A and B are shown apart, each in its own frame.
Chain A
Amino acid sequence: MDLAINGKKHTVANDAPQMLLWVLREQLSLTGTKYGCGEGQCGACTVLVDGAPVRSCLTPASACAGKQITTIEGLEQNGKLHPLQEAFLACDAMQCGYCTAGMIISAAGLLHKKPTPSHEEILAGMQGNVCRCGTYPLILDAIAKAAKGAGHAA
């Protein structure tokens, strides 16, 4: 089957139905998307499907045919990091970094829908991502910073 990932068409094997997460990581080596809990609790595996954040560990790859998938690898454009990636770096918004890809993807989905979210809207938009290191205040700062940054267009 064909999947459109980060603007490119990929042909993947899906004879035995697989979750999108494993197609990304094992067939396409897109290992930026993380395997956290595997059962839809933590949000580390979040990717965008047609712009909306979903959890790739609970998404059959077959359900994504004909849709645009964006992973953390797809945010950088022409060697330039996405404003969210810049802001996460500038704010030191990670400790171990395992949740970061999912955090940034969820935030990208949020800013895609609401380019200038309020603090409450950021909180609501980030409900589905867990950081075991507890870097939440810095993550919220980073998203607010990226949203405020001039470069970001929805």
Chain B
Amino acid sequence: MKAFAYINPANEKEAVAALSPQVEQSMPLGGGQDLLARMKDYVTQPERLVNVKTALESTVTPVGGGLRIGAAMKMADVAEHPEILRMYPAISAAAIEVGTPQIRNQATVGGNLNQRPRCWYYRNEEFVCFKKGGDRCFSPQGENQFHAILGAGPSFIVHPSSLAVPMLAYGATFRLAGPKGERLVPAANYFTLPRQSLRMENVLAPDELLTHVILPAPGNVKSGHYEVRYKASHDWPIAFATVLIAMNGSVVKEAKVVMGAVAPVPWRSAEAEQALVGKSITEATAAAAAEAAMKNARPLSQNGYKVDVAKTAVKRAILRAAGIQTA
């Protein structure tokens, strides 16, 4: 690992001041579960790390019927927080499946949302891809079994954050602090496709910090969250989904279907949502919505199976939201 300076700011303002507008020169350090590993692999080599664990909030505050979560909150604390579980159960479900106990005891909310792609080309210092400032993506002609099946190109990464998916479904807004003050960005506008910004996966500038996640009142919705992995633990999902449904009697009044690990951003499927509205939830309507979610899928040479896995995740998340037991 390249030597680096370590700054320990006392508050948000000092932390922002210690950052730099230059990409990957001065970087915020949360739990370090992604960044430090990338530094050890010479994928990212900042000159300065700015510890934000004490500078940023790590607590949950009720606001306007919803909750505001500090970006320095640890994943283990998110997973066990009773109010998050009561109001936003899909966020708890996503948090508990991240990594391992050791990871969750250190990893933070901000770090989970802003971690870099798990793509093996990106993670290997030898491959200078778009994500490292290079001029190509190696996956279309290479090993692409875990890459994107929706919305991708010219980079084919999948977004690595588990929290991003339920947070987008619940209509979260992210508070960002930068040298010019704060700005509020809805999760739906925060994550960016490669054709919008090739190197980074979101609108966060190098001299900005994501400080809070603001969740609106959840309303009267039922939620289902379902993740599919190769390994039972310590693995990233192949595909997963958060589904929120508001019922009108026995039929769906409104639905939100957001998928993870299928696209370079958390992927909301209007097709699946439309397929659910006005229907009662059964195996058949859930399966039809899952089909709709994958209607525009464009798999690469080795990841066609992910289309089926994603369908299963969507279908089971819908059935879970409806309280129907699934595998």
Contact = CB atoms under 8 A, between A and B. Distances in A.
Contacts of B37: 39-40, 58
A127 B233 contact: yes
Nearest to A56: B102
Contacts, number: 70
Contact of A52 (B32, B105, B233): B105
Contacts of A109: 101
Interface residues of A, number: 27
A116 interface: no
Contacts of B33: 40, 58
Contact of B32 (A58, A124, A129): A58
Contact of B234 (A39, A52, A54, A127): A127
Interface stretch (A26-34, A59-67, A72-80, A81-89): A59-67
| Cβ-closest 8 pairs across A and B | A128-B100, A127-B233, A128-B102, A52-B105, A17-B6, A127-B100, A39-B37, A55-B102
B233 A62 contact: no
Contact of B101 (A16, A59, A63, A110): A110
Interface of B: 3-6, 8, 29, 32-33, 36-37, 40-41, 49, 51, 53, 76, 99-103, 105-106, 233-234
Contacts of B8: 62
A46 interface: yes
B76 A38 contact: no
A51 B189 CA distance: 39
SS class, residues of chain A in contact with chain B: mixed
B32 A60 contact: yes
Contacts of B5: 17
6 contacts: A53-B101, A106-B102, A127-B99, A127-B100, A127-B233, A128-B99
A109 B40 CA distance: 27
Interface string A125-149: 1111100000000000000000000
A106 B6 CA distance: 28
Given A38-B40, A39-B37, A62 B106 contact: no
A54 B33 CA distance: 10
A39 B39 CA distance: 10
A58 B106 contact: yes
B106 A59 contact: yes
Given A38-B40, A43-B100, A63-B53, A55 B106 contact: yes
A109 B37 CA distance: 23
Nearest to B99: A128
Interface of A: 16-17, 19, 38-40, 43, 46, 49, 52-55, 58-60, 62-63, 106, 109-110, 124-129
Given A52-B101, A53-B105, A125-B101, 8 more contacts: A43-B102, A54-B105, A55-B102, A55-B106, A58-B32, A63-B51, A124-B233, A127-B234
Contacts of B233: 124, 127
Contacts of B102: 40, 43, 46, 53-55, 106, 128
B101 A127 contact: yes
Contacts of B49: 17, 60
Contacts of A59: 32, 106
B101 A60 contact: no
A43 B100 CA distance: 9
Contacts of B234: 127-128
B106 A60 contact: no
Contacts of A40: 33, 36-37, 102-103
Nearest to B231: A127
A49 B105 CA distance: 9
Contacts of A53: 101-102, 105
Nearest to B53: A63
Given A63-B51, A63-B53, A58 B36 contact: yes
A43 B8 CA distance: 27
A70 to B, nearest CB: 13
Pick from A59, A109, A125 the residue with the most CB of B within 10 Å.
A59
A7 to B, nearest CB: 20
A60 B6 contact: yes
A128 B103 contact: yes
A17 B32 CA distance: 13
A106 B234 CA distance: 15
A53 B29 CA distance: 19
